[in-house]
C-alpha cells in the first residue's frame, strides 16, 4: 500500500532480508537498494526508503543469521561433540559448556507462512491434515523447550542454541516464534521507545485503509497532500490478495478445527501480553475484532 505514496522510493527490492539470509553481505544489500537511488535524488529531503523484511522485526536467532553464524561456527559443532559423549539427562550440561565458547553476541500468520513456504508443505503435506501435523509438532517442540529450560523468552530468542533436541526441530519453530509479537515488540520499545514505533492491526488496515493510511503517512513524516488517484491506489493495493489469502485459510481451519483450537489456545496468553504492551490492559488487541 505505502509504496503508492509519491514520496516513497520504488524500483528496489523492498524485502532484502539482509539480517536473515546467509548469502547476504553489505555490498549485496546496497545493490538491492540501488534502483531507488534516482528516485531519491529527484526528491531530496522528502523521499523515504523502506525495508519491509519481515525477519527484521522478529530477532530470534534463526531469523537473525548475523548472530546465527556464531551458532553455526561454534555452538552447533560443540553441542554435537558434547551430545556424543553424554546421555540424557546430562545433555543439559552441553548448553553451559558450549556457550562459554561463543561470542556474546495467531493463527492467521502461522497458516499463511505454512502455505507460503514450500519446505513446510514438502515435509508435512500440502493439505489441511499436513497443516495439523505441522501445528502439533511445532507447538509441542516449543512447549518442550519451555518445560526443559523454564524461560519462555530464552526459548523464543535462542531456541536452537539451548539443546540438541531444539536444534533438530524442523526450521527451529521459526514460524511459531514469529507469532509471539510481544517478545520482539518489548525489545524494540526498550531500545527505541514506544513513541518511535507505530503498531497497527492488519485487520484495521485492510478493513478501513482510508482511515488508517493517513496515520501511517503522518507518523512517517510524509506529505499529506496526496493526489486522489494515489490514495485510491494505496487503498486498493494488496486488498485482493488479502481476501484470497483469508479464503484459503478459512478452508484449512474448517477442515481441521483441531488445528484452530491448538493455535488459539497457544497464542491466547501471548496476545494478552501484546495487549498489555499496546493498551496497558491485559486483553488481546483483537478482542473487539472477533476471531478472523
- Specify whether 101 is located in the same domain as 38: no
Confidence (pLDDT) at 152: 95
Residue 114: burial class (beta carbons within 10 Å; 0-12, 13-18, 19+):
buried
SS3 label, residue 235: helix
Domain boundary among 182, 215, 240: 182
For residue 100, being part of any structural domain is answered with: yes
For residue 63, being part of any structural domain is answered with: no
Number of independent structural domains in the chain:
2
276 close to 282: Cβ distance less than 8 angstroms: yes
For residue 263, being part of any structural domain is answered with: no
CA separation for the pair 182, 117 (Å, rounded): 24
Residues of the chain with pLDDT under 50: 66, 86-91, 99-105, 290-292
Domain boundary among 157, 182, 207: 182
- Specify whether 10 is located in the same domain as 103: no
Cell representation of residue 169: 526441530
Confidence (pLDDT) at 122: 94
- Specify whether 117 is located in the same domain as 82: yes
Output the pTM of the full model.
0.71
- Specify whether 149 is located in the same domain as 123: yes
Q: Which residues span the domain enclosing 5?
A: 1-56
Rounded to 5 degrees, what are φ and ψ at 48? -120, 130
Give the model confidence (pLDDT) of 1-56 as tens digits: 677 777 777 666 667 777 666 667 777 777 877 778 887 888 777 777 777 776 67
Domain boundary among 140, 156, 182: 182
- Specify whether 94 is located in the same domain as 162: yes
For residue 121, being part of any structural domain is answered with: yes
- Specify whether 149 is located in the same domain as 98: yes
- Specify whether 86 is located in the same domain as 177: yes
Instruction: Label residues 129-161 b or e (16+ Cβ within 10 Å = b).
Output: ebbbbbbeebbebbebbeebbeebeebbbbbbb
Confidence (pLDDT) at 153: 93
Instruction: Specify which residues 8 forms β-bridges with.
Output: 48
- Specify whether 75 is located in the same domain as 50: no
For residue 207, being part of any structural domain is answered with: no
Instruction: Specify which residues 48 forms β-bridges with.
Output: 8
CA separation for the pair 134, 126 (Å, rounded): 10
Confidence (pLDDT) at 61: 63
- Specify whether 82 is located in the same domain as 176: yes
For residue 259, being part of any structural domain is answered with: no
Confidence (pLDDT) at 217: 84
190 close to 59: Cβ distance less than 8 angstroms: no
- Specify whether 135 is located in the same domain as 173: yes
Amino acid at each position: 500500500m505505502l509504496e503508492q505514496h509519491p514520496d516513497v522510493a520504488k524500483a528496489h527490492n523492498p524485502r532484502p532480508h539482509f539480517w536473515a539470509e546467509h548469502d547476504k553481505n553489505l555490498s549485496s544489500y546496497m545493490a538491492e537498494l540501488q534502483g531507488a537511488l534516482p528516485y531519491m535524488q529527484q526528491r531530496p529531503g522528502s523521499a523515504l526508503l523502506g525495508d519491509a523484511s519481515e525477519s527484521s522485526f522478529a530477532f530470534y536467532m534463526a531469523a537473525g543469521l548475523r548472530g546465527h553464524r556464531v551458532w553455526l561456527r561454534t555452538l552447533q559443532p560443540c553441542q554435537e561433540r558434547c551430545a556424543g559423549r553424554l546421555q540424557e539427562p546430562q545433555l543439559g550440561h552441553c548448553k553451559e559448556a558450549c556457550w562459554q565458547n561463543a561470542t556474546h553476541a495467531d493463527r492467521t500468520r502461522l497458516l499463511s507462512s505454512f502455505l507460503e513456504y514450500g519446505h513446510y508443505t514438502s515435509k508435512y503435506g500440502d493439505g489441511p491434515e499436513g497443516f495439523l501435523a505441522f501445528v502439533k509438532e511445532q507447538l509441542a517442540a516449543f512447549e518442550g523447550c519451555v518445560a526443559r529450560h523454564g524461560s519462555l523468552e530464552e526459548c523464543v530468542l535462542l531456541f536452537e542454541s539451548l539443546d540438541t533436541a531444539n536444534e533438530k526441530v524442523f526450521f527451529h519453530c521459526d514460524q511459531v516464534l514469529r507469532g509471539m509479537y510481544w517478545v520482539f515488540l518489548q525489545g524494540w520499545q526498550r531500545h527505541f521507545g514506544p513513541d518511535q514505533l507505530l503498531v497497527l492491526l492488519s485487520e484495521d488496515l485492510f478493513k478501513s485503509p482510508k482511515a488508517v493510511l493517513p496515520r501511517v503517512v503522518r507518523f512517517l513524516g510524509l506529505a499529506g497532500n496526496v493526489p486522489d488517484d494515489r490514495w485510491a491506489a494505496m487503498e486498493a493495493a494488496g486488498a485482493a490478495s488479502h481476501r484470497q489469502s483469508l479464503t484459503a485459510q478459512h478452508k484449512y481451519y474448517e477442515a481441521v478445527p483441531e488445528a484452530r483450537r491448538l493455535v488459539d489456545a497457544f497464542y491466547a496468553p501471548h496476545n494478552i501480553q501484546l495487549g498489555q504492551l499496546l493498551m496497558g490492559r491485559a486483553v488481546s488487541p483483537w478482542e473487539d475484532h472477533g476471531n478472523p
